[in-house]
Amino acid sequence: MAEAAHRYDETMPLEYRTEESRLNILGFWIFLGAEVALFATLFATYLVLFQRTGSGPTAKDLFEVKDVLIETLLLLTSSFTCGLAIFEMRRNRLSGLLTWLLVTLLLGAGFITFEIREFIHYVHEGATMQTSAFLSSFFVLVGTHGAHVSLGIGWMILIIIQLLQRGFTPRTARKVFIVSLYWHFLDVVWIFIFTLVYLTGMVI
């Protein structure tokens, strides 16, 4: 695609300037498509099993609005601040980018903290992964999302280090952009966890 390379002038965002970057960003989008299928399977499993509680507690017994709402707001806000980070990057402001990435990280860490607390709370109430099919599917679905967020935090730290070392380059800009896609996507997944797991669980 030699032609395509020429179509991009200096006014294009930095993350799109090399052929490699454009390929990587597209590849990551495709990967997110695969992630949709992955989470869809976990949701399917959960929705098939969520009323099969055996002798264990039901969703209604366990879920509490307050905890879930705090987690939701933390993650939603972190998605917003992550968007601001990209906004700053496209204005060529390294300090702004770093600040918002750091805020995103902290909000993500807050989310994970609350989620772990929630899980520990359930376990103390005798609701473990081994208790019933409902709880197995609940812990694996929500846990997989949490594992993704944790991975995202580690990944973002690596990228912040690289930004500090190297500043803005097509390579670092592309990495920031890709991690931002990942982060927003995790919020998309959470929206459905919030809706199909927690809200639905409190209704039925």
Partner 1 sequence: MKWSEFFVTGEPLIYAADVAIVLTIIGIVFVLTYFKKWKWLWDEWLTTVDHKKIGIMYIICAVLMLFRGGVDALLMRAQLTAPNMKFLDAQHYNEIFTTHGTIMILFMAMPFIIGLMNVVVPLQIGARDVAYPYLNALSFWLFFFGAMLFNISFVIGGSPDAGWTAYFPLASNEFSPGVGNNYYAVALQISGIGTLMTGINFLVTILKMRAPGMTLMRMPMFTWTVLITCVIIIFAFPVLTVALALMTFDRLFDTQFFTMANGGMSMLWANLFWIWGHPEVYIVILPSFGIFSEIVSTFARKRLFGYKAMVGSIVGIAFLSFIVWVHHFFTMGAGPAVNSFFSITTMAIAIPTGVKVFNWLFTLRKGKIRFTTAMLWALAFIPNFVIGGVTGVMLAMAAADYQYHNSYFLIAHFHYVLIAGTVFACFAGLHYWYPKMFGHLLNERLGKWTFWLFMIGFNVCFFPMYFLGLMGMTRRMYTYSAGLGWTPLNVVATIGAALMGIGFIVLCYNIYYSARYGERDMTGDPWDGRTLEWATASPPAHYNFPITPEVTDLDAYWVMKKNGNGLEVKEEQLKPIHMPSNSGRPFLISIAFFFAGFGLVFKWFTLAIIAAIFIILGLILRSFDDDDGYYISVDEIKRTERLARKGA
Partner 2 sequence: MGANNHHESFPWKHVVGFVLSLVLTFAALWVALSSGLTAKAIIGVIVIFAIIQASLQLFMFMHMTESDSGKIQTINMAYAFFIAIVVVAGSVWTMSFVL
Q: Among partner 1, partner 2, none, what does residue 135 contact (CB within 5–8 Å per kind)?
A: partner 1
# residues near partner 2 by CB under 8 A? 55
Closer residue to partner 1 in complex, CB, 100/134: 134
130 by DSSP, 3-state: which? coil
Determine if residue 54 is left, alpha or beta; phi over 0 gives left, psi from -120 to 50 gives alpha, anything else beta.
left
Binding status of residue 1 toward partner 1 by CB under 8 A: yes
Rule CB under 8 A: is residue 80 a binding residue for partner 2? yes
Lay out the site mask for partner 2 across 146-185 (x = CB under 8 A, - = otherwise): ----------------------------------xx--xx
Buried/exposed 105-135: b ≥16 CB within 10 Å, e otherwise? bebbebbbebbeebbeebeeeebeeebbbbb
CB of 163 to partner 1, least distance (A): 12
Among 55, 91, 124, 203, binds partner 1 (CB under 8 A): 55
Q: Which does 113 bind (CB under 5 to 8 A by kind): partner 2, partner 1, none?
A: none
The C-alpha angle 78, 44, 29, rounded to 5 degrees, equals: 45
Q: Residue 132, interface with partner 1 (CB under 8 A)?
A: yes
The 3-class SS string of 166-182 reads: HCCCHHHHHHHHHHHHH
Does 72 interact with partner 2 (rule: CB under 8 A)?
yes
Backbone CA torsion sign across 127, 188, 180, 175: positive
Does 44 participate in binding partner 1 (rule CB under 8 A)?
yes
136 binds, among partner 2, partner 1, none (CB under 5 to 8 A by kind): partner 1
63's torsion region: left (phi>0), alpha (psi -120 to 50) or beta?
beta
Do 8 and 17 form a contact (C-beta atoms < 8 A)?
yes
Q: Return the number of the residue (72 or 119) whose C-beta is nearest partner 1.
A: 119
Told to check if 37 binds partner 2 by CB under 8 A, we report yes
